[in-house]
Structure 1
Amino acid sequence: MKLFVTNRFYYSATVLTIGFAASYFFPALLIPVKLVFFAFMALLAADFLLLFITGGEVSCERELPERFSNGDDNAVVLRITNRYSFGLDVEVLDELPPQFQMRNLAIVLTVARGETRLASYFVRPTARGEYNFGHTNVLVTTKLAMINRHFKAGHEQTVKVYPSFLHLRKYELIAFSQQQSIEGQRKLRKIGHSMEFDHIKEYTPGDDPRHLNWQASARRGHLMINHYIDEKSQPIYNVIDKSRPMKMPFEGMTLLDYAINASLAISDIALKKGDRAGLVTFQHKPDTIVPAQKGPKQMYVLMESLYHEKTAFTEHNFGMLYAQITAKITSRSLLLLYTNFESLYSLERQLKYLKLLNRKHLVLVIIFRNTELDGLITNGAGDLREVYHQAIAQNMLNEKFAILQLLRQHGILSLYTTPQSLTADVVNKYLELKSRRAI
């Protein structure tokens, strides 16, 4: 049993103390103050009897989803039940995981006798992993509001935070509602594409004799030929750099988490479009590789793989990446490479490997735009120090544009985007390449 006094108790006790002190100088006040004191004690006793002797209780159950979506608002529902024979004012204090750093979350509501009410709040995780919720503390008060009774409800719960999946439906609707023929686009010649079997038909003059089906021809007594169509299912690989540059934070999340969220969204859309989705991660050495496959199970495999990915304070090694992709990925694929080059020199060191990859595959290099640099450049300079800051920011921005220009000069596709717009921009670029038959 835990009892806490309320603010009304302290206010009343303060008034009584002042009254007794004043009656020392004005004896006529003593009797009225004593009457008020006895009334105060009677109310306090009545409040105690109502909360502790009547045998009622208040329970609270926390309803959590099976998993949280990283970077999104996730709902937590509290189910509060009043088993007293009268209404109560209830204040709920939930013990949140330390990752949220929220210590002032309090939900106040009125619950009638025998009533069950639902209350909810939202939390936004910014890192993948396990989040541990503690107990739920419930403070109940009668209309007298002299004391609180504390109930420790619920139990400890653990929720895993996975890459963002709440907005998959939104991006799916965008992908399937967009026009597939955009003015000004042209189809590109596909290099090294494959054919898939469609059906067997009778041979007609002009058909490629290399596709004759001799077994079917023997059964039918005349020439039969296999009919093939361009393979519609293309392999799409999200290639994620997990090195030190991807540790850079933006709005509480790292660039790696933004890349992982975008990878999950583009994989979902690619699978819905009939393509095969795969995953490659690397840093100073090759790491995870998930072969591109079709089917609903592939999303589960990708989500579990992305959940465990962590960045490291190491340099990226594109030479090892090239060796891994060459050995493991034999068919021409679209490689969505999430990385971050901060200087032209860092790109020049890895450019030869990007060129080699681009010969066998279609490489799209995704580079992040530093929005803080934009803010420094657009804001006015108030003193000489801010002028220097603006000059440095402009120089870094020019370096980014030089990186993009160098990639274009060598025929490598690039996408320059902010972390907040990453998912939408990658989805649009994938749809553009798909409509141009570049993959």
Structure 2
Amino acid sequence: MIICAFAVLFLVSYWYTPIYAYIWLLALGFLLLTLADIILLFKENSLEAERVLPEKFSNSDLNSVEIKLKNNYSVKVKVEIIDEIPVQFQKRDFLKTVHIPSHKKMKTSYGLRPVERGEYIFGNLNCYVSSPIQLIKKRYTFNKNQMVKVFPSFIQMKKYDFLAIDNRISQIGLKKIRRIGHTMEFEQIKEYVQGDDIRTINWKATAKHRDIMVNQYQDEKSQPIYSIIDTSRVMKMPFNELKLIDYAINSTLAFSNIALKKKDKVGMLSFSHKIGNYLSANSKMTQLQLILNQLYNVDTKFLDSDFGLLYAHLKRKVTQRSLLMLYTNFEHISSLQRQLPYLKAISKKHVLVVIFFKNTELEKFTEENPENLATIYEQTIATQFKNDKYYMAKELEKHGIQTILTAPKDLSINTINKYLEIKARGIL
């Protein structure tokens, strides 16, 4: 802009010659000022910067990336930061501007929300420094090619874990389930206190101690629980940029953590046209890390799933009666009817919970005001698809199969609710 201004002034001086000498003086002053700015910025490497990445990213959550800066210049500088973010984010307009006083340190950060698991490569951290004169910029480059892995949502897992311990689970939708009957393991005999269930009074112990004594029970523990993830093409559908399989994986991790806290054995299995990852149920706390590592490598296939193969594998490998949380999806009644014989066979030996998804985009479309006749036809068809989902849930329940029909975003909450309900009712 300054050079363009000088060009205009020199053009004007062609007709008004007295200003010609003054324009040259201004140009010389501008040149000296530019040289001073160059000397100030380029005399030494006076900026230090570092990109600090966490050990791993949590899928579908906002992850923080921190940038540490140190100004070794003798003046306050302006720093424009352009970070080369991994290609998966397709973000090409990243720019952060900070002002750092002389010989001071500063931290800044930004957030990234990945929607795919895998390795993410960060490129260069480019910092463009300008002095108070702001005629010249100097580029510094730091942290070339850093890599971070994106794992299933451990942030979501920790959130549910904390809220469960803190007795505030109802604030996020988790329900307290009323316990039915006494299907729990005997723990001890203790003295009656107000609020104890009078049905648990132990009359023999009461006669011996002359005080009212009651039996105390605890939840049945070490029950095998498996999360089974369908990795066929039906799980590739995205909602809010996240595929159904990633919702299922995040839910599996959060649910497995809660089950381990309840002292149950947890395992996992993935399948499509063939059996994928398999981890037998175990109650060790190291099991959660093993599940996390297994889930990291799970991905969708383009073929249809073989429920007959799943039934044969469960019959051979899972011999003890177990709770099976099956994450899949049915869009048509015919697709459910093809798999129903296998689901009924599995439910005879195990407690089977079939988890499939509402099409929230279709439901949103059915609630819009139609603008023309074509839209009315489309909404009628969408409503039919929506009603088919509820019909499929009723059909499964009619055959004694536990069912969860949920919006993708509510999957983890509804899965944990169903698990708590099954434990409280003593179904397993």
Check whether TM > 0.5.
Answer: yes
Please tell me whether residue 43 in structure 1 is matched to residue 33 in structure 2.
yes
The reply on whether 1:24 has 2:14 as its aligned counterpart is: yes
1:166 aligns to what SS in structure 2?
Answer: helix
1:298 positional shift: 0.3
Q: Secondary structure at the match of 1:126?
A: coil
Partner of 1:410: 399
Paired position in structure 2 for 1:235: 224
> Deviations for 1:218-273, whole angstroms, at most 9, x for unmatched residues?
xxxxxxxxxx9984221111010000100111111110011000000000111011
- Shift of residue 411 of structure 1? 1.1
**CA separation of 1:13 and 1:187: change in aligned 2, threshold 3 A:** farther
Name the structure 1 match of 2:411. Answer: 422
Deviation at 1:383, TM superposition (A): 1.2
* Change in CA separation of 1:287 and 1:188 when aligned onto 2, cut-off 3 Å: farther
Deviation at 1:26, TM superposition (A): 1.9
Which is worse superposed, 272-281 or 77-86? Answer: 77-86
Residue 145, structure 1, aligned to residue 134, structure 2: yes
Distance 1:74 1:233 in 2: 35
2:154 is equivalent to residue 160 of structure 1: no
Q: Distance in 2 between matches of 1:253 and 1:372?
A: 13
Q: 1:363 to 1:187 in 2, by over 3 A?
A: farther
Query: Which residue matches 1:386?
Result: 375
Would the aligned equivalents of 2:178 and 2:424 in 1 still touch at CA under 8 Å? no
Q: Aligned-pair distance for 1:86?
A: 2.1
AA aligned opposite 2:370: A
- Tell me which residue corresponds to 2:208: none
3-state SS of 2:252 partner: helix
1:434 aligns with 2:423: yes
- Deviations 1:14-71 (CA, angstroms, capped at 9, x unpaired): 1111111111122233233222212211111110111112x24212111111111000
Match of 1:295 in 2: 284
Do the aligned residues in 1 keep the contact of 2:156 with 2:250 (CA within 8 Å)? no
Q: Deviations over 1:109-142 (max 9, x none)?
A: 1112222211111111110010011111110000
Match of 1:60 in 2: 49
Q: Which residue of 2 aligns with 1:3?
A: none
How far apart, in 1, do the equivalents of 2:284 and 2:46 lie? 50
The one-letter amino acid of 1:51's match is L
Q: How does 1:2-151 map to 2 (within 5 A)?
A: 11-53=1-43, 55-151=44-140
Residues 404-435 of structure 1: CA distance to partner in whole angstroms, max 9, x if unpaired?
11111111111111111111111122122222
Q: Is the 8 A contact 1:188 1:436 kept in 2?
A: no
Q: Give, in whole Å, the separation in 2 of the partners of 1:377 and 1:328.
A: 44
Find the residue that maps to 2:114 and give its secondary structure.
Answer: coil
Q: Deviations over 1:66-120 (max 9, x none)?
A: 1110000111111112222222111111111100111111111111222221111
How high is the TM-score relative to the length of structure 2? 0.88
1:349 to 338, 347, 360: 338
Distance 1:148 1:181 in 2: 58
Bigger mean CA deviation after superposition, 170-179 or 292-301: 170-179
- Distance in 2, matches of 1:68 and 1:229, equals 37
Q: Which runs of 5 or more structure 1 residues have no equivalent in the other structure?
A: 1-10, 199-205, 207-227
- The one-letter code of the counterpart of 2:35 is A
SS at match of 1:78: strand
Superposed CA RMSD: 2.2
> For 1:296, what is the secondary structure of its paired residue?
coil
- Provide the aligned length of Structure 1 versus Structure 2: 396
SS at match of 2:120: strand
